[in-house]
Amino acid sequence: MRLRARSLAATLLLALLVAGAALMFVERKPAPPPQGMRAGAFDPPHAAPDLSLRGSDGSEVTLARYRGKVVLLTFGFTYCAAVCPTTLATLTQARRGLGADADAVQVIFVTVDPERDDAAQMKQYLAAFDRSFIGATGTPEMLAKARAAYGVAATKEGAGPDYAMAHTSSIFLIDRAGKLRAMMPFGHEASDFVHDVNLLLAE
């Protein structure tokens, strides 16, 4: 009888230990991660390819110049009929939506049409959206190198002065340390940019 009682007591003790261990495991489970970026994230992030182009503000455009800010980098051209103005209008709304944090964000618009987009043309065009936006231009070779670094395609369509440029329309998100963090496809709302930029600024 005593042996049976001791066996029962040992069994109960073991059950309590197992239950306690299970409870500790549950309590120590890590909290779920915060909601992720709405853009397509680069995992792991890597250093964003730097630029060396002529800016619409008369200075050289490099990413190092904007270290400490979140950079929204996009490619397009000032004679674009729909995609580019839509993108820039969205980024304008996003910057306004950031409120006081807007100064911690820099939009860079790299032309795919150096034949028509000189620095003066880009400055005038971008001023209609947000005077803080920086345009970047250069020789065809310089711009081809920048596009290749980001996997951006650009093709001339048509002939004569009214030709168009078919090009990649995504927006690249670069964090304050200069790392390429995500790529937002064309068509997202300003609120998606505000969400993702806030995540990057909070790091």
The residue ranges of DSSP E strands in 24-141, in sequence order, are: 40-47, 53-55, 60-61, 70-76, 105-111, 134-137
For residue 35, what pLDDT is reported? Answer: 56
- 54 in Cβ contact with 187 (< 8 Å): no
Distance of CA 196 to the CA centre of its chain: 7
Token pair of 9 as six digits = 């007591």
- 105 in Cβ contact with 197 (< 8 Å): yes
Distance CA 160, CA 152 (A): 24
- Nearest to residue 107, comparing CAs of 116, 98, 118? 98
Distance CA 134, CA 142 (A): 17
For residue 32, what pLDDT is reported? Answer: 37
Low-confidence ranges of the chain (pLDDT < 50): 1-34
For residue 171, what pLDDT is reported? Answer: 98
**CA angle (183, 38, 197) in 5-degree steps:** 75
Distance CA 178, CA 163 (A): 35
pTM of the shown model: 0.82
Token pair of 131 as six digits = 């005077």
**CA angle (154, 77, 97) in 5-degree steps:** 115
Beta carbons within 8 Å of 28's beta carbon, 6+ residues apart: none
For residue 170, what pLDDT is reported? Answer: 97
Distance CA 100, CA 7 (A): 69
For residue 90, what pLDDT is reported? Answer: 98
For residue 110, what pLDDT is reported? Answer: 98
- 111 in Cβ contact with 147 (< 8 Å): no
Cis amide prior to 44 (ω within 30 degrees): yes
